[in-house]
Amino acid sequence: MIKRLAVGVAGIATLIAAGIASAQGYPTRPIALVVPFSAGGPTDTVARTIADAMTRAMPGANIVVENTGGAGGTIGGSRVARAKPDGYTLLIHHIGMATAPTLYRKLPYDPLKNFEYIGLINDVPMTMLVKNDLPPNDMKELVDYVKANAKTLTLANAGIGAASHLCGLMFQAAIDQELVTTPYKGTAPALADLMGGQVDILCDQTTNTTPQIVAGKVKAIAITSPQRIDSLKDVPTMAESGFPQLDVTIWHGMYAPKGTPKEIVDKLSAALQASLKDPAVLKRFADLGATPSSQEEATPQALRAHLEKEIARWEPVIKKAGVFAD
Ligand code: ASP
C-alpha cells in the first residue's frame, strides 16, 4: 500500500515536471486563437490586432486567428472548452460569454467552470445603424418608422448571444416593438448585407462599423457609449437621443481551456498586458473607438471577477425579456 502510494506520488511528480517543462519551452508551435464569429467582423478585428501584438511580445510565438462562427459565438466557445489544455488553443470572446449561460437552455460549456482566464482586452461601444436609403436620421425618427413598418423591416444580428443580438433585444424592449431578426455567423456578413440593402437595421460594435460610417456607406443613428467618441464625433449618444437605458459597452476577454498550466496562462497574460501598451494596438483601438483594458484588468483574476459580475448583471435582464434558445 505504501509502495503503491509512493509510486503514485512519483507519478504525480513526473506529471507536474512534464507540465512545467512544457510551460518553460512554450510556445514551440503556432497557437490558435479561436474567434467565435466570421472573419472581418468586430471580434475578428480585435483578435487580429491583439494576436499580432502578442506574437511580437512573446519570444517564439506565432498566434494565428481561426474563425469558428455560428450560434452567437457558442460553437467557437465549445470548441475551446473541449480543446487540449496545452496553451495551443485559446478563445477570444465578448460579453456573450456572460449572456449565453442565461440565454441558452443547453449551453455545452460553463464559462465559470471550463476555462482558465487570461485577461480583459478592451471595451467597445455599439452603433445603431440603418441602411442608407431608410428614411430615419435619428432615434426619434427611427422609433416612429419602426413602429409604422414593423412587419416589413428586418433587424440583423450575429445569432443568439451575440452583442448585436443583445443590443437588438434592448432596442426592441426600449421601444416596445418586436422586429423580425436575421441571424448571421458574425456581423461582417450582416454589415455587408446592410450596405447591400438586404437587411434594414443593425446594432454593431464600432470596431466593425466606424470605417463604413465614416465612408458614408451606412447611416449611424446613435452610439451606446455614455459620451460621444472621437472617431465618430457627429454620432449622438443614446442618452442624448432620449434612450439612456440603451447604454451598453461590449467587453472582450481571452480564455484557455480549463487545466491549461498556470505558467502558460501567466505567460499569455504578460504578453496580453504588453500588447495593451503597444503603440500600434493603442492607435488601432483609438481609430475604431475601443478603450484598451488597464494592466490590472488584463489579468486572470480581473477577467474571472468581471465575468462573474456580468453573468449576475445580465441574468435578470434576459429573464425579464423572456428570450431563450436551445
Ligand atoms: N461581435 C459581433 C456581435 O456579437 C459578432 C462578430 O464579431 O462578428 O454581434
Domain ranges of the chain: 27-124+251-321, 125-232
Q: Please, are residues 67 and 38 in contact by the beta-carbon 8 Å criterion? A: yes
∠ at Cα 128 (246, 195), nearest 5°?
A: 165
| pLDDT tens, position by position, 196-239 | 999 999 999 999 999 999 999 999 999 999 999 999 999 999 99
Phi/psi of residue 229, nearest 5 degrees: -110, 155
CB-ligand 1 contact for 162 (6 Å cutoff)? yes
Q: Provide the pLDDT for residue 49.
A: 98
Angle value at C-alpha 77, between 75 and 78, nearest 5 degrees = 65
Cell of 152: 416589413
Q: Cβ distance 41 to 186 under 8 Å?
A: yes
Residues (pLDDT < 70) of the chain are: 1-22, 322-326
Determine the residue of 35, 49, 205 to mutate for testing ligand 1's pocket, defined as the one with the most ligand atoms within 8 A of the Cβ atom: 205
CA-nearest residue for atom 9, ligand 1, is 164
Q: What's the rounded Cα separation, in Å, for the pair 157 and 169?
A: 10
- In angstroms, the CA 212 to CA 109 distance is 35
Q: Is the CB of 37 under 6 A from ligand 1?
A: yes
Per-residue model confidence (pLDDT) at position 177: 94
Task: State the CATH architecture for 125-232.
Answer: 3-Layer(aba) Sandwich (3.40)
Alpha carbon distance 164, 281 (integer Å): 24
**270 Cβ partners below 8 Å, 6+ apart?**
57
In tens, the pLDDT along 124-174 reads 999 999 999 999 999 999 999 999 999 999 999 998 889 999 999 999 989
Give pLDDT, residue 6. Answer: 47
How far, in Å, CA of 50 to CA of 102, rounded? 29
Ligand 1 pocket member 34 (CB < 6 A): no
Return the CATH number of the domain spanning residue range 27-124+251-321.
3.40.190.150
Would you state the cell numbers that stand for residue 307, as one nine-digit string? 465575468
Q: What's the DSSP call for residue 237? A: B
